[in-house]
Amino acid sequence: MPRRCSFKLELDFPQPLAGVDEAGCAPLAGPVVAAACILNRDKFPRGIDDSKNLPLDKREALYAKLVKCSCWGVGVATVEEIDQINIYWARMLAMTRAVEALGLEPAWVLVDGNATPRWQRPSKAIVDGDAKCRSIAAASIIAKVTRDRMMVDYARDYPGYGWERNRGYPTPDHRRAINDLGITPLHRRSFGLVRAIEQRQAQPELVFEAVESFESHPPVVESAPDIMTQHIVVEARPAA
């Protein structure tokens, strides 16, 4: 049975050909990270696949080999940029920076997804490219491992959110931590869930001050003043 992830899609494109993918669009916290990778088709690590399909240990092992035998670059879009230009354009920005970080201009770029950044270089978007194209899959591994390591470092600065495990994704334990510990500078305030929690926490709490109690007394009722009324009696007159 042939592997889904191969060089088949890449054979029609000139070299050097770069595959590009990103990691971290869905999380509530942390940057979005993209990677570009140009593989040597005569010398590359076996087992390259979509990073989501690889267990942690194999992903880390492939990353260690890829950074030694391929040309690669990483681009990052910060949390501030995500909130300023939205996650879609931050993703495009990170991918652009990743290709620029290669140190050379590829003859063609294959991008995972349904759109490419607005650049002048020849490129093509491939839906589910990280599962079909070996160069894109290699980029997905580099992007995923790079971002995961960043989130582990951030977890040391902001303990309690579980970023070393959930990588900033909206897992139940991460949501509970946001409610209990509050919003950090690394949370994406443009995301609806984070914004809703921040707005709820910003609402002032009603404070009820203790009031000294007194014995109850019946209210003082003043007697109503006498009202003088005039009664006019009109006597019937006899008929003429």
**pLDDT (tens digit per residue) in 126-145:** 999 999 999 999 999 999 99
Q: Which pLDDT value is given to residue 116?
A: 97
| Cβ count near 215 (within 10 Å) | 4
Residues constituting the chain = 240
| CA separation for the pair 183, 202 (Å, rounded) | 11
Which are the contacts of 121, defined by CB distance < 8 A and separation ≥ 6? 99, 105, 106, 108, 109
> How many Å separate Cα 27 from the centre of its chain?
4
pLDDT, one tens digit for every residue, the chain (240 residues): 345 688 888 988 999 999 999 999 999 999 999 999 999 988 999 999 999 999 999 999 999 999 999 999 999 999 999 999 999 999 999 999 999 999 999 999 999 999 999 999 999 999 999 999 999 999 999 999 999 999 999 999 999 999 999 999 999 999 999 999 999 999 999 999 999 988 888 775 555 555 555 455 555 545 444 434 333 333 434 444
Q: Tell whether pTM > 0.85.
A: no
Query: Locate tokens 């003082």: which residue?
Result: 220
Edge-first strand listing for the sheet containing 123-126: 71-77, 32-38, 17-23, 108-112, 123-126
Q: Which pLDDT value is given to residue 41?
A: 87
Which are the contacts of 23, defined by CB distance < 8 A and separation ≥ 6? 32, 33, 34, 35, 51, 140, 143, 144, 146, 147, 148
| CA separation for the pair 140, 49 (Å, rounded) | 9
Q: Which pLDDT value is given to residue 216?
A: 52
Domains and CATH numbers, the chain: 8-147 (3.30.420.10)
Strands 108-112 and 32-38: unpaired
Q: What angle, 0 to 180 degrees and rounded to 10, lies between the N-to-C axes of helices 192-202 and 172-181?
A: 30
Which are the contacts of 176, defined by CB distance < 8 A and separation ≥ 6? none
Which are the contacts of 113, defined by CB distance < 8 A and separation ≥ 6? 125, 126, 127, 129
